Chain A
Amino acid sequence: NAGVMQNPRHLVRRRGQEARLRCSPMKGHSHVYWYRQLPEEGLKFMVYLQKENIIDESGMPKERFSAEFPKEGPSILRIQQVVRGDSAAYFCASSSQEGNQPQHFGDGTRLSIL
């Protein structure tokens, strides 16, 4: 039973390019969460999605960042026109249902901006 799968594990982009981060939740999980972690810090919530719906995007920057979780396929976190400050580890988590359920994390995508 595969866990949460994220790819790529490492992504290097130049300033101004686009970054696409993918997340496949655990089998049977329909709730997906994205978090960002800066070095030596805890994770910061970005967005919570269910299939085809954004439920809570209160942690997403207002510009350049978007997320989707289509009916078919993985969830995508998209960062347009990347800047150096976007360098971080981006983690995806999934859970089976709402409320009082643990979130299971992938190994993250480490984004480096040159």
Chain B
Amino acid sequence: SQQGEEDPQALSIQEGENATMNCSYKTSINNLQWYRQNSGRGLVHLILIRSNEREKHSGRLRVTLDTSKKSSSLLITASRAADTASYFCATATIQGAQKLVFGQGTRLTINP
């Protein structure tokens, strides 16, 4: 079964609103990473959060990690039409630190 599972599968909001996506995983991790994928393109790395970190910020992005609940969230504030994309969380387990395990992704649509 998938290590990471995103929730919701699809999210549609108005431009300017905040978007929150969640990710749950099953086993102990070394780090958790969030990626964005535009249609027909590769993945763009957004943020890496280590297992001993609880929160990280990058511009309009805020990622939290709760290892006790085995979950993470990605918050995009003041959304823009250009944020429309699929967002994936990926976990790197302690045993296989190089092997990223991806969830199914959240398809985010920002309506102008």
Q: CB within 8 Å of B: which residues of A? A: 4, 6, 31, 33, 35, 40-45, 48, 55-56, 58-59, 91, 93, 95, 98-108
Is the pair A42, B102 in contact by a Cβ cutoff of 8 Å?
yes
Is the pair A103, B45 in contact by a Cβ cutoff of 8 Å?
yes
Cβ contacts under 8 Å, B2 to chain A: 42
Q: How far is A48 from B99 in the complex, measured between Cα atoms in Å?
A: 7
Most buried by A among B35, B97, B98, B99: B98
Q: How far is A4 from B45 in the complex, measured between Cα atoms in Å?
A: 13
Q: How far is A44 from B4 in the complex, measured between Cα atoms in Å?
A: 12
Range, interface on chain B: 20 to 34
- Verify if B69 is at the interface (C-beta below 8 Å from A): no
Q: Contacting A33 at CB < 8 Å: which of B31, B50, B98?
A: B98
- Interface set, chain B 69-112, CB cutoff 8 A to A: 88, 90, 92, 96-105
- Verify if B61 is at the interface (C-beta below 8 Å from A): no
- Verify if B30 is at the interface (C-beta below 8 Å from A): yes
Is the pair A42, B42 in contact by a Cβ cutoff of 8 Å?
no
Is the pair A99, B97 in contact by a Cβ cutoff of 8 Å?
yes
- Nearest CB on B from A24, distance (A): 13
Cβ contacts under 8 Å, A44 to chain B: 102
